[in-house]
């Protein structure tokens, strides 16, 4: 017999199955998740935890008319499988396949996209307000994990629900985990609810109730009422949500499909906002993921039998994240004021190493980038040297805090901007390609990017010797394989490193782009040109002296960066040349003014958008040809920055 999963082409098909068949469907979905993600990688453990919930949602509600708003939305794989995307599922997060998050452009069933945490309640409340104004009758259901309650925006939304609408369903999917174990007082509060003695006793009662309650005919309509009666007994003190004006119900077993269906049916009938607190097991159905939910939160390909990822190839250099954390641990020994701060990403940033080695120098503030940055500012006022290790993309959240709380007061906060550049599998919500633009315009900011892991350590050390807001951007993944010096160097502020001199073209790169830069240089040299190679090191203060020198000597400059062209490093070069009244054209290579999609690898995207030496060479040659033509036929005016309108 075939799988039920293969018969589900839309949520309507979920409604045709019996309870027993739904249980089988849940098993099939888990099998599919494990099989596919063992090859593609992805958010396995969160999705294994919401199988019954997603089935129940599609059973009770009418998506896409009814709106499901998922927080972060890394847990929508099951939803994708049930909403017509089963055929493409084997390519999830791969080039041309479905995105790993909800994405409006992908499907009408994805009513709100996300990738960053804490947005679901606000978005859902906006939809509910629009519905109320339009006097339509859609249900709006938001599904948020317990870690969403570490995020400030969630409370901003909670604060407004009661005043905004009477019909709103929030589902709190509590599995006690963020990526790492969830942190803070709210996590403890939820834990207290779950451990409350009345919960265990009442749990038995509700199971009993469900067994004997028929689900056919007119009695079906009564289910909601009966559920309320039955679960009343399990409502344990939950003042927090009640004070926000939400009717709290729970904790409910998030793997009991029938109970979920009944509870959601009840919730649908309420004329007050409702919060359903469900308990789920992260990784349910796959022992390896239950044992290690952190690794399987978002994993690479793995062997299903052992749960192990392919062994790291011999000779692969340590990644930037490990180098970063090792350096911090080392620096702690010589700087008693050094503090590492993560916003719920101890494994991603590798700050977990600092947590283990120097627990008193480590803070995990939860998914709370704004708080993390202002917290760092506060510590800095007391003479500490906080390092905020935050992904470039998530630091966007804390932009005002960087300006208002750190820079304006000239406080010594170092921003370790992790995952600068692309995060291919995750896609546009996670690409860190805006940070130069957003940090460069902030007065007093110092911006650096290392060419390799040794220089990275130098930069972190240099940052500690300097003051004010300092941003060091670095990519995900393996370093270049260079040895790390025993004693880091203090780099001269705002000074580039000239790797080779040349007089026709100067290739100036910012960050770990040496390979691409060298390829560009080699190809241009092969054409008989004299080419300089410059590692910029700093974007701010930018090395005016070097730019002036090569701007005056060379016919063309070429900039390389793993960032959007608009407002990026190349823009900084153009502005500097303009200040210096130098009109040497600049061939800029970087990302275009688009949101870059997800793909199997960064390489796929670099090929597609031409972020490579081929583009650099072509642009340089084009500008050289234009320059030659200009010199043959002298022009009166030159449009400054004309090269900038051509994108990669
Ligand atoms: C603003 C922001 N910071 C950090 C992250 C990284 N992140 C992705 S999922 C996640 C944990 C989510 O936990 P929870 O919401 O409880 O869902 P679960 O995976 O446990 O189901 C974190 C920290 C993010 N997506 N957005």
Q: 59, 167, 284, 397: which one is catalytic?
A: 397
From the CA of 283, how far away is ligand 1's center (Å)? 15
Give yes or no: 314 in active site: no
Give yes or no: 397 in active site: yes
Contact 308, 51 (CB under 8 A): no
> What token pair was written down for 30?
């888990």
H/E run at residue 48 = helix 44-49
Query: For ligand 1, atom 19, which residue shows the shortest CA distance?
Result: 46
pLDDT of residue 427: 98
Higher pLDDT, 631 or 200: 631
**Rounded average pLDDT over 539-558:** 98
pLDDT of residue 235: 53
pLDDT in tens, 321-345: 999 999 999 999 999 999 999 999 9
**Ligand 1 pocket, mutate which of 117, 279, 419 (most atoms under 8 A from CB):** 117
Distance CA 574, CA 552 (A): 13
Q: 262: helix, coil or strand?
A: helix
Q: What percent of the chain has pLDDT over 70?
A: 91
**Ligand 1 pocket, mutate which of 74, 79, 367 (most atoms under 8 A from CB):** 367
* Complete DSSP assignment for 142-201: EEEEGGGGGSHHHHHHHHHHHHH-S--EEEEEE-SBSSSB--SHHHHHHHHHHH-HHHHH
Predicted confidence (pLDDT) at residue 513 exceeds the cutoff of 90: yes
Higher pLDDT, 123 or 644: 123
* C-alpha R_g of the chain: 27
Distance CA 52, CA 351 (A): 34
Ligand 1 shell residues, CB under 6 Å: 46, 49, 71-72, 74-75, 116-117, 145-148, 173, 175, 177-179, 282, 297, 343-344, 367, 369, 394, 397
**What are the CA-CA distances from residue 635 to residues 627, 629, 644 (Å)?**
11, 10, 19
Q: 282, 288, 361, 476: which one is catalytic?
A: 282
Give yes or no: 219 in active site: no
pLDDT band at 191 (very low <50, low <70, confident <90, very high): confident
Non-local CB neighbours of 622 within 8 Å, separated by 6+ positions: 587
- CA torsion sign for 590, 595, 599, 604 is negative
Domains parsed from the chain with CATH numbers: 5-291 (3.40.50.970), 320-473 (3.40.50.970), 498-645 (3.40.50.920)
**Rounded average pLDDT over 600-629:** 97
Q: 564: helix, coil or strand?
A: strand
Non-local CB neighbours of 173 within 8 Å, separated by 6+ positions: 49, 50, 53, 75, 143, 144, 145, 146, 254, 278, 280
Contact 438, 568 (CB under 8 A): no
pLDDT of residue 470: 98
Predicted confidence (pLDDT) at residue 232 exceeds the cutoff of 80: no
Shortest-distance atom of ligand 1 to CA 178: 13
Instruction: Tell me phi and psi for residue 275, to 5 degrees.
Output: -120, 120
Predicted confidence (pLDDT) at residue 59 exceeds the cutoff of 60: yes
Q: From the DSSP assignment, how many helices (H) and strands (E) are in the chain?
A: 25, 17
Nearest to 262 by CA among 299, 302, 215: 215
* Edge-to-edge order in the sheet of strand 169-174: 67-70, 140-145, 169-174, 274-279, 247-253
Predicted confidence (pLDDT) at residue 205 exceeds the cutoff of 60: no
Least confident of 189-193, 301-305, 405-409, 416-420: 189-193
From the CA of 398, how far away is ligand 1's center (Å)? 16
């Amino acid at each position: 017999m075939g799988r039920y999963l293969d018969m589900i082409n839309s949520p309507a098909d979920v409604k045709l199955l019996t309870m027993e068949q739904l249980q089988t469907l849940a098993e099939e979905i888990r099998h599919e998740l494990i099989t596919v993600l063992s090859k593609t990688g992805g958010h396995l453990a969160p999705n294994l935890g919401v199988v019954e919930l997603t089935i129940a949602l599609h059973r009770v509600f009418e998506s896409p008319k009814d709106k499901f708003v998922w927080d972060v939305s890394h847990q929508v794989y099951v939803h994708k499988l049930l909403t017509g995307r089963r055929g493409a599922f084997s390519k999830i997060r791969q080039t041309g396949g479905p995105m790993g998050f909800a994405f409006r452009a992908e499907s009408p069933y994805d009513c709100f996209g996300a990738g960053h945490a804490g947005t679901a309640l606000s978005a859902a409340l906006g939809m509910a307000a629009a519905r109320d104004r339009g006097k339509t009758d859609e249900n709006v259901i938001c599904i948020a994990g317990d870690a969403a309650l570490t995020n400030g925006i969630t409370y901003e939304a909670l604060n407004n629900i009661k005043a905004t609408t009477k019909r709103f369903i929030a589902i709190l999917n509590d599995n006690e985990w963020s990526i790492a174990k969830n942190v803070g007082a709210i996590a403890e509060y939820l834990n207290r609810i779950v451990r409350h003695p009345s919960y265990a006793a009442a749990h038995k009662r509700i199971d009993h109730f469900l067994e004997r309650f028929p689900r056919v005919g007119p009695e079906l309509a009564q289910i909601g009422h009966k559920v309320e009666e039955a679960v009343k007994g399990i409502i344990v003190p939950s003042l927090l949500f009640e004070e926000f004006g939400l009717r709290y119900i729970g904790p409910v077993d998030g793997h009991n499909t029938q109970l979920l269906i009944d509870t959601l049916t009840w919730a649908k009938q309420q004329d007050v906002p409702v919060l359903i607190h469900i308990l789920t097991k992260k990784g349910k159905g796959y022992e390896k993921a239950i044992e290690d939910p952190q690794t399987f939160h978002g994993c690479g390909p793995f062997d299903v039998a052992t749960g192990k990822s392919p062994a790291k190839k011999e000779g692969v250099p340590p990644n930037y994240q490990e180098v970063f954390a090792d350096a911090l641990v080392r620096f702690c020994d010589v700087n008693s004021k050094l503090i590492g701060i993560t916003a719920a990403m101890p494994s991603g940033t590798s700050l977990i190493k600092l947590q283990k080695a120097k627990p008193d120098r480590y803070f995990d503030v939860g998914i709370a980038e704004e708080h993390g940055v202002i917290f760092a500012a506060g510590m800095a006022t007391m003479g500490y040297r906080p390092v905020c290790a935050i992904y470039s993309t998530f630091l966007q959240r804390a932009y005002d805090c960087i300006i208002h709380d750190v820079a304006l007061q000239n406080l010594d906060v170092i921003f370790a901007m992790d995952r600068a550049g692309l995060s291919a599998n995750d896609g546009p919500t996670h690409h860190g390609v805006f940070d130069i633009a957003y940090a460069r315009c902030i007065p007093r900011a110092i911006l650096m990017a290392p060419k390799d892991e040794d220089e990275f350590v130098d930069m972190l050390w240099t940052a500690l010797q300097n003051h004010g807001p300092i941003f060091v951007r670095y990519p995900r993944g393996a370093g270049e394989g260079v040895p790390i010096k025993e004693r880091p160097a203090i780099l001269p502020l705002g000074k580039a490193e000239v790797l080779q001199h040349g007089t026709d073209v100067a290739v100036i790169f910012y960050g770990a782009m040496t390979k691409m830069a060298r390829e560009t240089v080699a190809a241009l040299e092969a054409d008989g040109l004299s080419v300089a190679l410059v590692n910029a090191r700093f974007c701010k203060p930018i090395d005016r002296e070097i730019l002036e020198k090569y701007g005056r000597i060379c016919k063309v400059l070429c900039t390389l960066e793993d960032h959007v062209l608009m407002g990026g490093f190349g823009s900084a070069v153009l502005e500097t040349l303009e200040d210096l009244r130098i009109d040497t054209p600049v061939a800029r290579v970087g990302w275009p003014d688009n949101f870059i999609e997800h793909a199997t690898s960064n390489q796929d995207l670099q090929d597609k958008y031409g972020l490579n030496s081929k583009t650099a060479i072509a642009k340089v040659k084009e500008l050289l040809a234009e320059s030659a033509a200009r010199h043959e036929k002298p022009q009166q005016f030159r449009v400054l920055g004309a090269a900038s309108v051509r994108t990669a």
